[in-house]
Amino acid sequence: MVERKFFIDTDTATDDAVALVMALRNSDIDVLGISTVAGNCTIEQATQNALYTQNLVGSTVPVHVGAAGPLMRDLQSAHHVHGQDGMGDIGLELHGREPASYRGVQALIDAIMDNPGEIELVTLGPLTNLALALRLEPGIIDSVKRVVSMGGTAVLPGNVTALAEFNFWADPEAAFIVVNSGLQFEMAGWDISTAHAVIHDGLAAELRSLGTLGAFAMDIQAVLREFCRNETMLDGFDLPDALAMAIAIEPTIVTREAHHFVDVISGDGPARGQTIVDERGNSGREPNCRVIYEVDRERFLQLLRASLTDSP
Ligand code: RIB
Ligand code: CA
């Protein structure tokens, strides 16, 4: 089978790590590079978390350091969700690894421009790097094969405010630039994560029993589990980035979708980071987004189990 070429942009915390394992362990996918971005945690921590995860699965994919913060505001991280180290505070050795470069934005551009029509870009964090890449090289709009973004929400509520999901809220100006750039993208929002990607305690125990990677993927969710128990009131924890990666890997797991123009509210008002899904075409703007409304949960779980099952 012809190998597919991925590039992954990530603010590596606990659900990003599971998504990275899914891509890095898939034999049909050649991950050309990983760029890190500040979001869940600082750029330094996100980079170390990405390097730890890459090392855990024996990957040598280059990890390139990207933006250390949003375009026009200070970073507001999510340590209360994923832990101080972004990986559940379970004592992992998340330091001392060397990235391939400190040119994450250029690495994203180079991967796309050097492989015209081939790169499937998966974004798992704030869109700071992608916005900067679009300003540096608008040619990526036509050169990239597809863009799958974990971000936004097609159905309210959001997770960081009633109106907004974290990735689009953390850097709303970057999200605004991306969605208004002419780039076509696929939105795997917060709504489908809470609907189809919640891992309840019994399932978590089953996934943990798959082996080393299963134990890693479940144990790092310790802080997230408590946050979901007390804040988002989920019966378990959800894995939005892993679901977005599953959609990137296997687009046919999507069971309901529509193409609409999607905009994002920038600035500091109560609607900061809100996703505006123009379902009735009121804006008169051409659709820019494959809005994903429903996913086959069992097929998602199949992909997740396969990625966490230790090699024979
Ligand atoms: O809102 C969920 C998103 O924000 C996920 O990507 C999670 O990792 C955080 O970055
Ligand atoms: Ca993320």
**Which atom of ligand 1 is found nearest the CA of 40?**
10
How many structural domains comprise the chain? 1
**Which atom of ligand 1 is found nearest the CA of 167?**
4
Active-site residue, selected from the candidate residues 9, 11, 15, 171: 11
Closest alpha carbon to 122 in 195, 35, 182, 200: 35
Strand 4-10 with 29-36, pairing:
parallel
Q: Is 224 in the pocket of ligand 1 (CB under 6 A)?
A: no
Q: What is the mean pLDDT of residues 16-34?
A: 98
Q: Above pLDDT 70, what percent of the chain? A: 99
Report how far ligand 1's centroid is from the alpha carbon of 228 (Å). 13
CA 217, CA 207: separation in Å to the nearest integer?
8
For residue 2, pLDDT over 90 is answered with no
For residue 146, pLDDT over 90 is answered with yes
Give pLDDT tens digits for 237-284. 999 999 999 999 999 999 999 999 999 999 999 999 999 999 999 999
Residue 176: CB atoms within 10 Å = 20
CA 114, CA 33: separation in Å to the nearest integer?
13
Q: Is 238 in the pocket of ligand 1 (CB under 6 A)?
A: no
Higher pLDDT, 80 or 113: 113
Give pLDDT tens digits for 176-235. 999 999 999 999 999 999 999 999 999 999 999 999 999 999 999 999 999 998 988 889
Give pLDDT tens digits for 92-140. 999 999 999 999 999 999 999 999 999 999 999 999 999 999 999 999 9
Question: According to the model, what pLDDT value does residue 232 have?
Answer: 85
Q: What is the mean pLDDT of residues 25-54?
A: 98
Question: According to the model, what pLDDT value does residue 312 have?
Answer: 65
Read off the tokens for 113. Answer: 């421009």
Report the sign of the C-alpha dihedral through residues 33, 262, 240, 162, in that order: positive
For residue 1, pLDDT over 70 is answered with no
- Determine the structural domain holding residue 78 and report its residue range: 4-308
Q: Is 168 in the pocket of ligand 1 (CB under 6 A)?
A: no
For residue 294, pLDDT over 70 is answered with yes
Question: According to the model, what pLDDT value does residue 200 have?
Answer: 97
Give pLDDT tens digits for 150-169. 999 999 999 999 999 999 99
Closest alpha carbon to 95 in 38, 55, 57: 55
Please write down the HEC assignment for all residues of the chain. Answer: CCCEEEEEEECCCHHHHHHHHHHHCCCCEEEEEEEECCCCCCHHHHHHHHHHHHHHCCCCCCEEECCCCCCCCCCCCCHHHHCCCCCCCCCCCCCCCCCCECCHHHHHHHHHHCCCCCEEEEECCCCHHHHHHHHHCCCHHHHCCEEEEECCCCCCCCCCCCCECHHHHHCHHHHHHHHCCCCCEEEECHHHHHHHCEECHHHHHHHHCCCHHHHHHHHCCHHHHHHHHHHHCCCCEECHHHHHHHHHHCHHHEEEEEEEEEEECCCCCCCCCEEEEECCCCCCCCCCEEEEEEECHHHHHHHHHHHHCCCC
CA 88, CA 132: separation in Å to the nearest integer?
30
Which amino acid does the sequence have at 294? E
CA 122, CA 16: separation in Å to the nearest integer?
11
Read off the tokens for 240. Answer: 């939005």
Q: Which of 124, 190, 238 to mutate to test the pocket of ligand 1 (most atoms within 8 A of CB)?
A: 124
Report how far ligand 1's centroid is from the alpha carbon of 241 (Å). 7
Q: pTM for the complete prediction?
A: 0.98
Q: Is the peptide bond before 157 cis (omega within 30 degrees of 0)?
A: yes
Read off the tokens for 235. Answer: 């019966």
Question: According to the model, what pLDDT value does residue 311 have?
Answer: 76
Q: What CATH number did the domain enclosing 61 receive?
A: 3.90.245.10
What's the length of the chain? 312
